[in-house]
Amino acid sequence: MTRTGTHPTSVGLSRGRRWASLTVLSLSMLVIVMDMTILNVALPELAADLRPSADQQLWIVDVYSLVLAGLLVPASALADRWGRKRLLLSGFVVFGAASLLVLTAESPECVIAVRALLGLGGAMIMPTTLSMIRSVFTDPRERATALGVWAATASLGGAVGPIVGGLLLEVFSWHAAFLVNVPLMVLALISGLLLLPEARDPAPGRWDVVATVPAIAGMVTLVWSIKHFAKEGVADPLAWASLAGAAALLTWFVLRCLHRPDPLLDVRLFARAPFTAGAVGALGSMFAMGALLLLAAQWLQLVGGHSPLETGIRILPMALAAVVISPLAPALADRIGARTVLAGGLAMSAIGFFVLYGAQEHLSYAALAITLTLLGVGTGSLAIASAIIMSSTPQAKAGNAAAIEETAYDLGNVLGVAILGSVASVFYRTRMADGAAGSEGLDPDQVASAGESLGGALSIASQTGGEELAVWARQAFSESLVQIGLYGGLVMLIAAVLVYFMVPRDLDLAEQHH
């Protein structure tokens, strides 16, 4: 490895070493994404065992992404100072050790704590994979190809996760969805030690400890306020106070970064319109994917009656479409332009959501499969979002760019689950209020539990022999899933329009900023 100026490069690496390094970095992302999709398949069995409330179920899903989003910027800053390879390998250790702790989890609160620790490990892994690709591949066209492979491999995690999860749940308990990470992290640790080069910023500036606090607290408070709005309604004063507090904390963080010569996060990168467009594309795509995968997995199992393995197979269209499109996206961008590919991918995701919303009378798997495929096409365009972000960023700022992009990915997933998941939850509770209250033989606690979640309603129906309650609950959940098609489609359409107008028509991904 050689250094030029004040930032690391890897022009001394042989071609074989570069692509071997990419293999380790991409497979690291595959494990992270696979872990998220495995949970979607395992959640119904986990819920049946531990009986979490609807809010606890959302936190089991959300806390991983929430911790991840809050720690991505500090982790990236630490990697620049301590060494990206060193932090990545440490992340493998943390992620694997946290996965082992699930053996001690006997309550929803324990699972939430394990997921939070996994978020810590993920925060150490995710930004370093992307920033190291920027350091290893200094040629812009070669890097665009590498980012396409990286994005395709991450999408493959979405395809492999439900299948692996389904196979594990056919034989073992839901704990296996966590324990599968352990041997994978051991393999990643050994491969990383042997193959990866070290990279760090030789002049990163002082660590801004003060800025770390509002960055983490602001993001936690922001998501909490969104969840509270969904539960209590838009008139809830505590939710508004939390939202105001989040805005104040994040504004303070941005202003502090703008006025420091060595900021924890260089927010001036957003002054480049293509960079901002790439971040919007990443956030929008994950907003769509995170919420739909979570709700679709529950619908297939609890409404469709499919096993976890059958559910994993039926979710495949989304991930497989992304796997096909991701490596092709850079070549397609050379032909028709990066703007058209990224904005077009987001528009395809919007159409997919509207297809779901169109299934008002009777939601079938055929409609869901079309939606999943179109969203997969949109997700495949994330390779272009990554290429735009990295081509718009000087190499010295690669760590900052990686932290921003990964934060956009993770925040999109958090907001998608929180907003669309909460919309679905509110609609479900509203529909169940009449159905459960009208069921004979149910006490008030059972009525409240049936309105909390589909799993709770089906459990009560099984205990009381209330088949009518089960039918009503399944119908209510199907209708709530359909409803998110409208809101998700509008969000994706807005993102597509923003990207189209922010990315220059003649943007060349091979042009490198210094």
pLDDT surpasses 90 at 89: yes
C-alpha closest to that of 342 among 398, 381, 298: 381
Q: pLDDT over 90 for what percent of the chain?
A: 15
For residue 500 the two structure tokens come to 């189209």
* pLDDT value of residue 8: 42
Query: Residue range 138-152: average pLDDT?
Result: 78
Q: What are 306-327's pLDDT values in tens digits?
A: 887 788 788 888 878 888 888 8
pLDDT surpasses 70 at 1: no
Question: What does pTM read for this prediction?
Answer: 0.77
| Confidence at 436, pLDDT banded by 50, 70, 90 | low
What is the second-level CATH architecture of the domain 12-195+264-442+453-502?
Answer: Up-down Bundle (1.20)
Between CA 391 and CA 507 the distance in angstroms is: 10
* pLDDT value of residue 11: 44
pLDDT surpasses 50 at 487: yes
What DSSP line would sit under 67-114, residue for residue? HHHHHHHHHHHHHHHH-HHHHHHHHHHHHHHHHHGGGG--SHHHHHHH
Using an 8 Å Cβ cutoff, are 388 and 269 in contact? no
Q: What are 32-83's pLDDT values in tens digits?
A: 878 776 776 788 888 888 888 877 887 887 788 778 777 888 888 888 778 8
Between CA 280 and CA 33 the distance in angstroms is: 20
User: Backbone phi, then psi, for 53, in 5-degree steps?
Assistant: -70, 175
Using an 8 Å Cβ cutoff, are 178 and 66 in contact? no
Query: Residue range 365-394: average pLDDT?
Result: 84
Between CA 316 and CA 247 the distance in angstroms is: 38
What DSSP line would sit under 392-457, residue for residue? TS-GGGHHHHHHHHHHHHHHHHHHIIIIIHHHHHHHHHHHHHHHHHTSTT--HHHHHHHHH-HHHH
Enumerate residues 6+ apart whose C-beta is below 8 A from 138.
Answer: 9, 10, 11, 395
Between CA 86 and CA 109 the distance in angstroms is: 31
Question: pLDDT: is 411 or 363 the higher one?
Answer: 363
* pLDDT value of residue 5: 38
* pLDDT value of residue 412: 79
Between 18-32, 106-120, 437-451, the lowest mean confidence (pLDDT) is in 437-451
> Could you state, in order of their start, the residue ranges of all structural domains in the chain?
12-195+264-442+453-502, 212-263
Beta carbons within 10 angstroms of residue 12's beta carbon = 10
